[in-house]
Structure 1
């Protein structure tokens, strides 16, 4: 059974680089995107493998802690 997992930002910052696209297969531990906060790069990691359904942010977007940045179907 497939389930949708909302991937949320753990920080307030900016989307620096998006490394995945919708419909892309991802494995546990893969990096979806890299966020930037206070000159530090923070990777957003997939906990469970699956397929990226949606990326809800764009490079350069300001984001808040807890904001959904992607949806992965596992």
Structure 2
């Protein structure tokens, strides 16, 4: 399985994709808020999302898994 992880610690502001959705490389999939800045998390992978591991308002640490792809 392939995973998309957080590049830094922050609070999840938006989840822009859903389970079952196909995503492409470079697509913004999650927006984090850290130190009053919005940080877009881009997919470095191509695939179908099989599990969204975070919800809006969740706090994540660097390298926490956000999405799982098949």
In 2, distance between residues paired with 1:48 and 1:66?
16
Structure 2 residue runs without a partner (length 5+): none
Q: Partner of 2:43 in structure 1?
A: 46
TM-score (norm 2): 0.93
- Alpha-carbon distance between aligned partners in 2 of 1:35 and 1:54, rounded to the nearest angstrom: 18
Query: Matches of 1:41 and 1:71 in 2, distance apart?
Result: 22
Q: Deviations over 1:3-36 (max 9, x none)?
A: x211111111100000000000111111111011
4+ residue runs over 3 A deviation: none
User: Which string of whole-angstrom CA distances, capped at 9 and with x for unpartnered residues, describes residues 14-66 of structure 1?
Assistant: 00000000000111111111011001111111112110111101000011111
**What TM-score does the superposition give when structure 1 sets the normalisation length?**
0.88
Please identify the structure whose Cα radius of gyration is greater: 1
Give the alignment's Cα RMSD to 1 decimal: 0.8
Distance in 2 separating the partners of 1:28 and 1:13: 22
Q: How many residues align?
A: 70
